[in-house]
Structure 1
Amino acid sequence: MDWKESAVCLFSLGMVHYLVLFVTLYQRLSGGDRLPVLLRPVFFLFFAAPGVASLAWESIVGDFDTFSKMLFFLSLFLFISLVCRPALFKRSMRRFNVAWWAYSFPVTVLAMASTNYAQQVKGTVSHIIMLIFLALSVLVSFSLTVFTLINSKMLLPDNDHPTASLLIV
């Protein structure tokens, strides 16, 4: 809609709010016992915000410039810092939970940002990073869909439950 000033205003408000979110989540990351086990996949949303900010800034200025790259690398760093801590997620992965869907959006955003980065940089390493995240995004989304379908009977209430009639399509 070409509302560049509105976009910059909203972007700056989002960045200020992310600073608060960043500090809050980064402090919780060190003590994994502070968040309930079933909600630990939500930590993956931690690196979604800089990835989305990277794409948003590119949309505002029309180029994947240095600031977009910095936000992309922040997102990549946070992703790697979470992936290097598998023990944090081990207990939450024992039984399927709807919170697992928190893995899909951040990985997909990082794949989109890596695609834009690879188009801008045009190097072998950037294209390898892009292919890894694209494959990971497809794998995560497909796996979550399969796990949801397999476990959907457990997620739906019994027919005798009062809310069961709300789910009938």
Structure 2
Amino acid sequence: MTTRDVSQGEAEGNESWLAHFPVTFFAVVMGLSGLTLATHRIELKFAVSHTASLALTAITTLVFLAISTVFLAKALRYPASVRDEWNHPIRIAFFPAITIGALLIAAAILPWNRPLAHGLWLAAAVAHLGVILGVVAAWLSHRPFETVHLTPAWFIPAVGNVLVPMAGVKLGYIEVSWFFFSVGMLFWLVFLTLVFNRLIFHNPLPERLLPTLVIVIAPPSVGFVAWQELNGGEIDAFARILYYSALMFALITLTQVGRLVSLPFTMSWWAYSFPVAGFTIASSRFGEATGTLVPKALTLVSYAVLCAIILLLVLKTIAAMRRDEICRPEG
């Protein structure tokens, strides 16, 4: 074999790796951003230095830039591969994770650099609206979507809408925040009905998609945070409905832990992270606003679980990348 043959083989391997770099990698950014925001809440709770959340903000931003750069390179070199993901009935739901990651980073940056957060939030909010319109247009097209394609991952676009008020209210975009919140909650209720119908009355989720079950915790958790922001920090009847719905979904998820921990690792495991982060933040805010003991205790428990989950995911992702098990064609 000549040197030229070796070089060509290496190039083909690199091309194959890049062509199969999945949009689901942006779930990593959602998980790290959730950890960053949850850590900031813990720092506020105990009145300690914000060093940890600042470091996590920097790390999350770098990870987002790295993943975005690779995915952009894929889009430029292998546009057909990106189109295939967009046309995939399940992976299309992960495209809003790109703008969701930017929205979460903007919320994390806001306490430290308002102008930077403002610019990032504006760009992310506009881009998110565009992505959501594209996803909804795809859902309403004549594609042959079937019940088997419906998974809790379809909640991701709704979650993104509800996240807009987290920074939007503080930046003064009240009506824009109400718009996104209203749309997000509407889609959540629609897909909540559809997803539970699919889970109860149809074939069970494939093993590799079972981790997406945890996503059901996210919409009511971040919905509570957004509602509280929109209502000046007040806790009213609807805020309680949202928080206790999140708590119930968390308890339901606990009944599935035995199945979830026995699964072989895939990138879908990152679906465990952001919902737990959202529930941690919601519990912290609910406990502080009401003085209720249980949410305060749940804040510490869920934060400890979140840290353990993120550490496990990082280690397993690095190990899987070293074994060349991540960016490969679906079997």
TM-score w.r.t. structure 1 length? 0.82
Partner residue of 2:253? 82
Separation in structure 2 between the aligned mates of residue 86 and residue 31 of structure 1, nearest angstrom: 21
SS of the residue 2:264 aligns to:
coil
Aligned partner (choices 250, 267, 270) of residue 101 of structure 1? 270
SS of the residue 1:9 aligns to:
helix
Deviations 1:88-120 (A, max 9, x none): 536xx3321110000000001100111101111
SS of the residue 1:95 aligns to:
coil
Give runs of aligned pairs for residues 1-169 of structure 1, distance below 5 A.
Answer: 1-30=171-200, 33-66=203-236, 67-86=238-257, 88-89=259-260, 93-154=262-323, 155-156=325-326
In 2 relative to 1, CA 32–128 (structure 1 residues): closer, same or farther, beyond 3 Å? farther
Aligned residues: 156
Separation in structure 2 between the aligned mates of residue 55 and residue 17 of structure 1, nearest angstrom: 17
1:64–1:116 contact (8 Å) kept in structure 2: no
2:218–2:279 contact (8 Å) kept in structure 1: yes
Return the offset for 1:31.
5.3
SS of the residue 1:94 aligns to:
coil
After TM superposition, what 4+ stretches of structure 1 lie above 4 angstroms from structure 2? Answer: none
SS of the residue 2:233 aligns to:
coil
Deviations 1:61-80 (A, max 9, x none): 12141222321111111111
CA RMSD of aligned residues (A): 2.1
Separation in structure 2 between the aligned mates of residue 70 and residue 126 of structure 1, nearest angstrom: 14
SS of the residue 1:10 aligns to:
helix
Letter in 1 for 2:290: V
Letter in 1 for 2:242: L
Which 5+ residue runs of structure 2 have no aligned equivalent?
1-170
Letter in 1 for 2:297: I
Separation in structure 2 between the aligned mates of residue 48 and residue 157 of structure 1, nearest angstrom: 27
SS of the residue 2:172 aligns to:
coil
Return the offset for 1:47.
1.5
In 2 relative to 1, CA 95–60 (structure 1 residues): closer, same or farther, beyond 3 Å? same
In 2 relative to 1, CA 37–31 (structure 1 residues): closer, same or farther, beyond 3 Å? farther
Query: Could you say which structure has the larger radius of gyration?
Result: 2
Separation in structure 2 between the aligned mates of residue 32 and residue 83 of structure 1, nearest angstrom: 22
Separation in structure 2 between the aligned mates of residue 83 and residue 64 of structure 1, nearest angstrom: 29
TM-score w.r.t. structure 2 length? 0.44
2:266–2:326 contact (8 Å) kept in structure 1: no
Which 5+ residue runs of structure 1 have no aligned equivalent?
159-169
Deviations 1:105-162 (A, max 9, x none): 000110011110111122332221111111111111111111112222233569xxxx
Separation in structure 1 between the aligned mates of residue 252 and residue 202 of structure 2, nearest angstrom: 13
Separation in structure 2 between the aligned mates of residue 2 and residue 61 of structure 1, nearest angstrom: 13
SS of the residue 1:34 aligns to:
coil
Return the offset for 1:20.
1.1
Letter in 1 for 2:318: L
